[in-house]
Structure formats: C-alpha cells, structure tokens
Amino acid sequence: MIDDAYLWLESLDEPEAARWVAERNAETLRAMADEDFAATRDAIREVLDSSDRIPFPGWRGDGFYYSFWQDGDHPRGLWRRTTPEQYRLAEPEWDVLVDVDALNEAEGENWTWSDVTVLRPGHDRCLISLSRGGADASVVREFDLVRRVFVTDGFTLPEAKSHVAWADADHVFVGTDFGPGSLTASGYPRIVKRWRRGTPLTEAETVFEGDPADILVRGYRDATEGYQREFVVRLPTFFTREYHVRVPGGDLERIDIPEDADCDVHREWMLVRIRSSWTVGGVTHPAGSLLVTPFGRREFTVLFRPDRRTSLNSWSWTRNHLLLVTMTDVRTEAFVLTPGEPEWTREPLPSSGEFAQTWIVETDPDRDDAYLIASEGFLRPTTLSLGTVGGPVEVLKRQPEFFDPAGLEVRQFFAVSADGTRVPYFVAGGEKPGPALLSGYGGFEIALTPGYDAVIGRGWLARGGAYAVANIRGGGEYGPDWHRAALRENRLRAYEDFAAVAADMVARGITTPEQLGIKGGSNGGLLMGVMLTRYPELFGAVVASVPLLDMRRYTRLLAGTSWIAEYGDPDVESDWEFLREYSPYQNVRPGRPYPPVLFSTSTRDDRVHPGHARKMAALMRDQGYEVAYYENVEGGHAGAADNDQAALVRALMLEFLWRRLAG
C-alpha cells in the first residue's frame, strides 16, 4: 500500500476533488484577471483564428486537397477539401464535408475531431474518429464522401482507444474494447479482428491476439495496385515491434528484422530503420541506419548511415522515389533518393537555410512523384511549396509575420553537461540580457527543431524576452543513441543536460537565474518537475503542462504502463531505486528555494492522468510554496479543445512567467 495523503485527487468523479479543482481554477483566473492578461489572450486568439494561417493539406489519393480547419466561427472545426487549382488561390473555395460544430448542435455532443481514414482505391467512403472533449478515446463512424452523410448501417465503434483500417470496401481491420480481457494493461487493443460489413462486431474473425502486457496490436492493408498485402503489427514495448504479413490462407509470417527496428513497405521495397546495431549479410550497420531491400528478400542496401553529428529525421515515399530529411547538429537537410543499378542515387531538395527546419508535408505514393515541402524558423514564417521529383518547386502559400522580428536573431550554442557531453540549444531574441524562456522535452526519441511559433513570438519575443530550446539527451536529435543515453537508469543525464543549458545561458549573459523561466509538457512536464525539485536555484519560474510527476504510481494511471521501456517499472525494486532519485512528487521538501510554479492539465486527458498535476500542486501548496493551478475541463492531452481554450491556457502560461521574470 502506497502512503499518499493526496490520493483522493486522482478521482475524476468525486465532488471533493472537483470542488478542489474549481477553487484552484478560480484562484488562478482571479490572479490573472487584468488588462495585460486580456491583451495577451486576445493577441494569441487573433493568431489562432487568423485566416492567414496556412491550411496544411492532406492528399487522400483522389486528387483533392483535404484540410481540417478551426477558427473563431468554427471552434470545433471543419473537415473540407478543394481542388489543386483552387488551393493555389489566396482564398480557395472549400467544399465542407463535416462541420463539427453543426454536428455537435444537432447531436447534443461535444465532439472534437480526431482522425480520418479514407478507403483506397475507391475514395468514396471514410472512417471518421471523433472524441468527446479531445480525449484519446474516440468513437468511429463510417462516412459517405459522395452523399456527405454518416452511413446509418455502416461501420461504427463505441468510445474506446480503437484502431481501425480498411481491408476493402466491405471489411475493416479493427482493434477495440471487445469486452473483458481484450485490452492491454496500457488500455489499448490487444486483439485484431477482420470485420465484415453487415455483421455484428461479435462475429468478426480474430486475426491476431497479443499479450496483456503488450502496448498494443493493430492490423492494416496495403492497397497499392499490384502490391496488395495485409499486415499485423505487435508492440511488446514502446520501442519494440513485430511485423507480420498475412499470407494466402490467413496465416501470419513474421518479417525477420530486429525487434527494435521500424519497417515500412512501399511497392516492391521494404525499408528498415534500426535502433541498435545490426549485422546482416556479413555487414554490421550502426544504430540509426536506414536500409532497403526488395520485399521478401534480404539484399540490403544502405540508404542512410549516421555519424556523430548527423541523424535521420524522417522519410516519405513518392510513387518512384524516397524523400529523406536528415539533421546535422539539429539543422535539417532534405534529399531525394532514386532506385537504380548498381546503387540508389541521391540529390538534394531545396534547403530551409540556417537555423530553420524543412519537412515533407505530404506525398501521394499511389499517384505520382509530387510532394509538398515546408520550411520555417524561429523568426521565419512558414513557406509551403509544391514540387515534383526532377521538376520545378512552386511556392503555394506563405504565412505572414505575426510579430516583428526586427532586432531579433537566432543563435545556436553548445553547453557542456556533467559528464562532458556537448548539448546543443537554440536561442532567439535580442542582444540585451533579460527575461528568457527555456523549453525542452528529452524523451521518446522525439527531436525538437526550430519552428515558427507565433504565440511565443507575440506573447514573449515581442515583449523583449528571449526564447530558447534545449536539445537534451532522451530526444532524437542525434538518433537512437542520443535517446538511449537517457533511458531508465540513465534518466538523470537528460536532467543534467537541461541544467547545463540553463547554466550556460547565464554564463553567456543571456539572462540571470532570477529571470530564467522554463516550460514543458507531458514528458517535458516531468522534466519541469525535476528541474523544480532538483535545481530550484537555476530558475525564476516554472510551467509544467499535462505533466508526469508521480513516478511511483504512473504505471497505475491510464496509459502509464506503456512507458515502462522509457522510465522503468516502479513496482520492480531495482527500478524504483533510480526512479525515486528524481520522481518530483516524492522529492518535494519543505524549506527549499522553489521558484513559483504553474501546473496546467485537462480533466479529459486520458493519456497522462490529471492526478499528477493535482497532487503535486496540493502538496506544494500545503507546504507554503507559490503554486498556481489550472485544469481545463476539455482538451485531452493537448490541454485545449478549441482556439478559445488554447488562447486562455497559453496566455496563463506566458503572463505567469512574464510577471515573475520581468518584474
């Protein structure tokens, strides 16, 4: 039995817990309610609602540009499409397919848009996922793209953390809550079934069953003409996978690749991206390499090999080519690779320039070799372009400046961590020292790259503050080894890295400890909690959003079990020995120089339980520390379900920090 005086705050339904949340919310809003806060909130809302934002499109294989759009008139959003010719215009004519606000009014619901899967190759039906209040759990409903209506007797699933994919027009692969024993300990599907139209879900054919300790399993079909194949993927842990291909007769054959590798099949090719070194065909390939072979054979060709400074960021297929985005010291470059004999050829794509990022927005590998490519930087608004491999690149959209960058610059520095590792970080701002905001994440092999955040621009940079992003270990900035360096018992390295960046900013005269604020969300919220309790003297204020904080109980809350491979298992004594060193909730002590802190979360977050933030806030308040707390009812793990809620939450964060750091 765990002794926890604040365990009652984990309850989402108890009146006492709800009353505590309402009282804390009211306190925080009262403390912020003035003209400065209103101006910041309105400036953020203007950005979020702006019609000048780029409506990033998705291609569904039928020649249309699809987009999901939210603004002041459509807070829950529109799913819509237009033609390529219309999209080039400053104000395209959009064909609205689903108006979520109108749907909510008609059904008396609070749906938020979650996902959509369009049938290939017909493109006349789709499966739409809608969640209540932004939660991960969603309902699935079949939609007729020709008649613009939900199909009355179509494929539908009740609210659950489901995965559904088309097999053909009359069958879907489905993993959902089929009843007791059908979910993993993490709350995701354990069983994949093939469900035939017009039959009860209870009669669906079982294709594969995973173990209760798995993260999840899912099934899908590659509908590429001439290369139709069905696959099942099992995730025993967050970073391991088993890929199975369904052979005639329905049996599954496992693809022979390392369990921690990613696999991607396109037409006759199979890509393998490895997370640890792998010897195959007498050759040893380092972690982070990307290999290709004809599907069903083991004749691997190296398409990307990392080095000490360069890693693979992403890849995308066109019909006949492979597009790669790589990073060298967190600076991106894009390339096009073309199959050939005796080897694949490689050519550069347009570069984003220094201290910016490039990414592939979309391709349509069923149709052609066109691609959408975007670039942006801390001070450079996004540009979206359309290119064709071997052809010209045409600018389609340019986002306007939402704040004045005059007098601001972007610089990259390297801090030296406790063990001597060089840790990169970016700083955007002016030359004069003053208030600074440092953000970080450091987990799950996720890389933080330079990006144009108009909210930070208006609410922080335009007021004279500096904004910094730390590329600490645990992330993916330098590939799998950079991530692995801060896993489990090595987690403290990520926190030492972040502390080193903070100290380096002060040493360079960018700011002072009293004027340095930090922010992070989710795993980044855990980072904030550790900085608060372990390095309080380095910071003037802290914001932790939708955070993990109680590492003693995290596996017992919602999806927590799925992250054991990242953090360790607190129910294993040897793991708890290193977890207890930094777990923020267990390391709060009286009489420490903790800076002011704001915790924000969402009642509808069904990924990271709001109890983490609630309990930490209550504990620190009772010990007399300055703690602000805000819990949005909706929003799920994103923390907000529409632009109005997002503007409020982000204004709270920026105003809380500015008032404490700028005086």
Range of the domain at 329: 306-400
pLDDT of residue 219: 98
Residue pair 632/598 in contact (Cβ under 8 Å)? The answer is: no
- Residues 562, 577, single domain; the answer is yes
pLDDT of residue 13: 82
Region 466-488 average pLDDT: 98
Q: Which of 99, 222, 227 is nearest to 165 (CA)?
A: 222
- Residues 507, 383, single domain; the answer is no
What whole-number distance in Å separates Cα of residue 598 and Cα of residue 596?
Answer: 7
- Residues 647, 543, single domain; the answer is yes
Residue pair 236/215 in contact (Cβ under 8 Å)? The answer is: yes
pLDDT of residue 351: 73
What whole-number distance in Å separates Cα of residue 495 and Cα of residue 531?
Answer: 7
Establish if 613 belongs to a structural domain: yes
Q: pLDDT for 575-603, tens place per residue?
A: 999 999 999 999 999 999 999 999 999 99
Q: pLDDT for 369-408, tens place per residue?
A: 999 999 999 999 999 999 999 999 999 999 999 999 999 9
- Residues 626, 563, single domain; the answer is yes
- The answer to whether residue 188 scores a pLDDT higher than 90 is yes
pLDDT of residue 528: 98
Residue pair 228/221 in contact (Cβ under 8 Å)? The answer is: yes
What whole-number distance in Å separates Cα of residue 412 and Cα of residue 417?
Answer: 16
- Residues 413, 358, single domain; the answer is no
pLDDT of residue 342: 83
Q: Identity (one letter) of the amino acid at 413?
A: F
- Percent of the chain surpassing pLDDT 70: 99
C-alpha dihedral (647, 649, 655, 656), degrees to nearest 10: 180
Q: Identity (one letter) of the amino acid at 509?
A: G
Domain of 640, CATH number, reads 3.40.50.1820
Establish if 114 belongs to a structural domain: no
Residues in the chain: 663
pLDDT band for position 1 (cuts 50, 70, 90)? low
Based on the residue annotation, tell me whether 123 is a catalytic residue of this protein. Answer: no
Establish if 506 belongs to a structural domain: yes
Q: Across the strands, what pairs with 466? A: 436
Region 612-631 average pLDDT: 98
Establish if 59 belongs to a structural domain: no
Region 320-347 average pLDDT: 95
Supply the pTM of this predicted model. Answer: 0.97
Establish if 383 belongs to a structural domain: yes
Residue 411: partners with Cβ closer than 8 Å, 6 or more residues away = 355, 426, 427
Hey, what are 160's tokens?
A: 């659950």
- Residues 362, 460, single domain; the answer is no
Please spell the DSSP secondary structure of 580-613, one letter per residue: HHH-GGGG--TT--PPPEEEEEETT-SSS-THHH
Q: Which of 316, 417, 522, 602 is catalytic?
A: 522
Average pLDDT across the chain, whole number: 97
Pairing state of beta strands 310-317 and 301-304?
A: unpaired
Give the residue from 400, 415, 439 where a domain finishes: 400
pLDDT of residue 350: 80
Q: Which of 74, 163, 321, 637 is catalytic?
A: 637
Q: pLDDT for 106-139, tens place per residue?
A: 999 999 999 999 999 999 999 999 999 999 999 9
- Residues 342, 438, single domain; the answer is no
- Residues 387, 458, single domain; the answer is no
Give the residue from 382, 400, 418 where a domain finishes: 400
Residue pair 76/641 in contact (Cβ under 8 Å)? The answer is: yes
Residue 464: partners with Cβ closer than 8 Å, 6 or more residues away = 430, 432, 434, 435, 662
- Residues 390, 406, single domain; the answer is no
- The answer to whether residue 250 scores a pLDDT higher than 90 is no
CA 153 centroid distance within chain: 34
What whole-number distance in Å separates Cα of residue 651 and Cα of residue 43?
Answer: 9
Establish if 363 belongs to a structural domain: yes
- Residues 572, 471, single domain; the answer is yes
Q: Is 610 left (phi over 0), alpha (psi -120 to 50) or beta?
A: alpha
Establish if 7 belongs to a structural domain: no
Hey, what are 231's tokens?
A: 């696959």
Residue pair 395/432 in contact (Cβ under 8 Å)? The answer is: no
Based on the residue annotation, tell me whether 522 is a catalytic residue of this protein. Answer: yes
Q: Identity (one letter) of the amino acid at 376?
A: E
What whole-number distance in Å separates Cα of residue 477 and Cα of residue 333?
Answer: 13
- The answer to whether residue 352 scores a pLDDT higher than 70 is no
The domain tally of the chain equals 2
- Residues 438, 374, single domain; the answer is no
| DSSP type of residue 203 | G
Give the residue from 349, 377, 400 where a domain finishes: 400
Establish if 457 belongs to a structural domain: yes
